[in-house]
Amino acid sequence: MALGPRLDLRQTQSLVMTPQLQQAIKLLALSNLEIETFIGEALDANPLLELGEAAPATDGDTASPEDHRRTTMESSPVDQLIGEGRADDDRPLDIDASALDRDRDTGDGGSSGEGGGDWGGDLRMTPFGEAPSIEERGEAGQSLAEHLGAQVGSATDDPRVAAIIAFLIGQLDEAGYLPVALRDIAAELGIALSEAEEALEILQSFDPTGVAARSLSECIALQAREADRYDPAMARLIDNLDLVAKGEVQRLKRICSVDDEDFADMLGELRGYDPKPGLAFAGGSDAPVTPDILLTAREDGGWDISLNQATLPRLVVNRDYYVELKGTCDDKDSRAWLSQKLTDANWLLKALDQRQKTILKVSSEIVRQQDGFFRHGVAQLKPLTLRAVAEAIGMHESTVSRVTSNKYLHCERGTFELKFFFTSGVAAAGGEGSVSAEAVKAAIRQLIDAEDPKAILSDDALVDLLRQKGFDVARRTVAKYREAIGLGSSVQRRRQKALAAVR
């Protein structure tokens, strides 16, 4: 076979991700508040864009779940401003762009602490008291970092120590813990470990007490020292928080060498400490959520869905300014720059308009599928997958995933993340259909809340009671769901009630 150069013709298909296409896809995953920030940056970068007056709610801003397959918002005000560069296809955006899946947000992990996992999850299963009230929360709008930063100046006059403290403050998580090893911080800053320890000791003396702790036991110990209650017995109790969570009363009394009365006092002290002092400030997990989608009931029994216009700025193209600038462009480069800015502005308006249509279409299908939940509560929540919604509305599953990321829907029952409505299912009693895992969890919680303290329900008993309610679940499934909602085993619950009785 002779070797030599030759020409071959090959036909291939590929998806070219233009910058505009990537922008349109990423817009789907942004919440309304994030869109507001994005628009602010776009206004700074493009002189042809400006904010218009808030548009009143019209038929273009709402969608009916019963008519979700119809094209909505066909004559929205934004469409009329597209002008040059408008695409012929005016359907909701649907693009399979798996390459961008890595940009999707993931859930944040909580701070790891000793002996009790997430102490802020279900407070009924912790040795601490109630969550901070509204009055006990920090100043409105002030973050934990700002609160701590204001205390640095009065704590040290050494600028080097102040800089180290400021760096440590930046490493704290939202609960106020220091999740990074102090040795790693010293290495990163190029300082001695002793300097990092000195700065950390100063930071741990700041308000709120317990901040900058590296574990739950250290956080509680700092608060006990501040209250002058860190005696040897209390120290041993704090060192065994895992036993406190399990309700090992007799064992704890032996370890601490105290009687019933002293142990009750120590337990009362422990309940008064805050396991997550950082959450008392803005940015904690209890921060209010602004809904992106509003759901209201109609008089005829149907539903109306609309986007929250209060958090959705209206963007327009200033065509008068475009004409004025075009008249002053004498060279080719200036005209090309102005034409590009107009094209970018038109594309952004189109992308934002398609984003609204896509969100309304996906939300309408979710409401249609979960109609029972909105009318009767979590017990009527149905199993639902992204694929089921995607197939029903003729979109790709990745598009539905992006639309439901970081979006919240407000209805009469409260505000829920769209991801909440996608749950796995378990078989219903009788073998017909299936029920949502969330409905099973709600039933388990209801049964445990109503149980007699003298007759704690075992997992086997819960299985029998759930079958009477129409849920065909195995004992291991009941145990998994019970643990997922922060409820202990029958033994742990019995000990918890014993602790409550001691108190």
The string of pLDDT tens digits covering residues 351-410 is 888 889 999 999 999 999 989 889 888 777 888 888 889 999 998 888 888 888 888 899
- For 62, the enclosing helix (H) or strand (E) is strand 62-63
Give me the domains of the chain, ranges plus CATH numbers: 19-102+289-417 (no CATH), 123-130+144-280 (no CATH), 424-502 (1.10.10.60)
pLDDT at 132: 45
pLDDT at 278: 87
Report the chain's C-alpha Rg in angstroms: 29
Dihedral in degrees, nearest 10, Cα atoms 358, 362, 365, 367: -120
pTM beyond cutoff 0.85? no
Mean pLDDT (10-residue bins), the chain, 503 residues: 78 71 79 82 88 55 51 33 36 49 37 35 36 42 81 84 88 89 87 91 90 92 85 88 84 87 83 86 59 90 88 82 84 88 89 90 92 83 86 88 87 87 66 67 86 84 85 80 80 73 58
**CB atoms < 10 A from the CB of 266, how many?**
23
pLDDT at 500: 65
The β-bridge partners of 471 are 428
pLDDT at 362: 93
pLDDT at 197: 92
Sheet with 293-297: list strands edge to edge: 62-63, 303-307, 293-297, 408-411, 414-417
Give buried/exposed letters for 174-190 (b at 16+ CB in 10 A, else e): bbbbbeeebeebbeeee
The string of pLDDT tens digits covering residues 433-478 is 566 777 888 888 888 888 887 888 888 888 888 888 877 778 878 8
Asked whether the beta carbons of 203 and 161 are under 8 A apart, the reply is: no
pLDDT at 116: 35
pLDDT at 94: 57
DSSP secondary structure of 367-416: HHHTHHHHHH-GGGPPP--HHHHHHHHT--HHHHHHHTTT-EEEETTEEE
SS3 track for 311-344: HCCCEEECHHHHHHHHHHCCCHHHHHHHHHHHHH
pLDDT at 214: 93
CA pair distance 130, 192, nearest whole angstrom: 41
